[in-house]
Amino acid sequence: MARTDGMTQWLGWGRRGTAGAAIPVSLGFENVTQRFGELTALDDVSLSVAPGETVALLGHSGCGKTTLLRLAAGVERPSAGRVLLEGRDVSAPGRFVEPEDRGVGLVFQDYALFPHLSVLENVRFGLRGLGEAQAVTAAERAIARVGLAHLAGAYPHMLSGGEQQRVALARAVAPRPGVLLMDEPFSNLDRRLRDTVRDETMSLLQEIGATSIIVTHDPEDAMRVADRIVLMRQGRIVQAGTAEELYRRPASLFAARFFCDLEEIEGVVRNGAVETPIGRFEAAGLAEGEQAVVCARPQAFRVVPKGFCLAGRVVGRRFLGEVDQLHVAVNGLDAPLAVRFARPGRVEEGAEVGLDIDGDEVLVFAAVEP
Which stretches of the chain bind ligand ATP, using CB under 6 A? 36, 39, 41, 59, 61-67, 217
Least distance between ligand ATP and beta carbon 87 (Å): 25
- How far is it, in rounded angstroms, from Cα 188 to Cα 260? 23
- Pairing mode, strands 27-36 and 273-276: unpaired
DSSP structural state of residue 245? H
Least distance between ligand ATP and beta carbon 222 (Å): 13
Least distance between ligand ATP and beta carbon 66 (Å): 3
Of the candidates 168, 155, 183, the one whose C-alpha atom is nearest the C-alpha of residue 126 is 168
Least distance between ligand ATP and beta carbon 262 (Å): 23
What 3-state class would DSSP assign to 336? Answer: coil
CB 52 within 8 A of CB 25: no
Rg of the chain over CA atoms, in angstroms? Answer: 25
Least distance between ligand ATP and beta carbon 58 (Å): 9
Least distance between ligand ATP and beta carbon 102 (Å): 19
Burial 85-116 (b: 16+ CB within 10 A, else e): bbeeebbeeeeebeeeebbbbbbbbebebeee
- How far is it, in rounded angstroms, from Cα 320 to Cα 107? 36
- How far is it, in rounded angstroms, from Cα 350 to Cα 96? 68
Q: Which is nearer to ligand ATP, 41 or 278 (CB)?
A: 41
Q: Which is nearer to ligand ATP, 66 or 118 (CB)?
A: 66
Q: Which is nearer to ligand ATP, 43 or 361 (CB)?
A: 43
Burial class (CB in 10 A: 0-12, 13-18, 19+), 318: exposed
- Cα 351 to Cα 178, 303, 304, 345, 356: the distances in Å are 60, 11, 12, 13, 16
Give how far the C-alpha of residue 332 lies from the chain's centroid of Cα atoms, to the nearest Å: 37
Q: Which is nearer to ligand ATP, 83 or 139 (CB)?
A: 83
CB 151 within 8 A of CB 9: no
Least distance between ligand ATP and beta carbon 4 (Å): 22
Least distance between ligand ATP and beta carbon 81 (Å): 15
Q: Which is nearer to ligand ATP, 64 or 161 (CB)?
A: 64
Go through the chain and tell me how many residues it has. 370
Q: Which is nearer to ligand ATP, 59 or 209 (CB)?
A: 59
Give how far the C-alpha of residue 173 lies from the chain's centroid of Cα atoms, to the nearest Å: 21
Q: Which is nearer to ligand ATP, 41 or 107 (CB)?
A: 41
Q: Which is nearer to ligand ATP, 58 or 135 (CB)?
A: 58
Q: Which is nearer to ligand ATP, 184 or 324 (CB)?
A: 184
Least distance between ligand ATP and beta carbon 229 (Å): 14
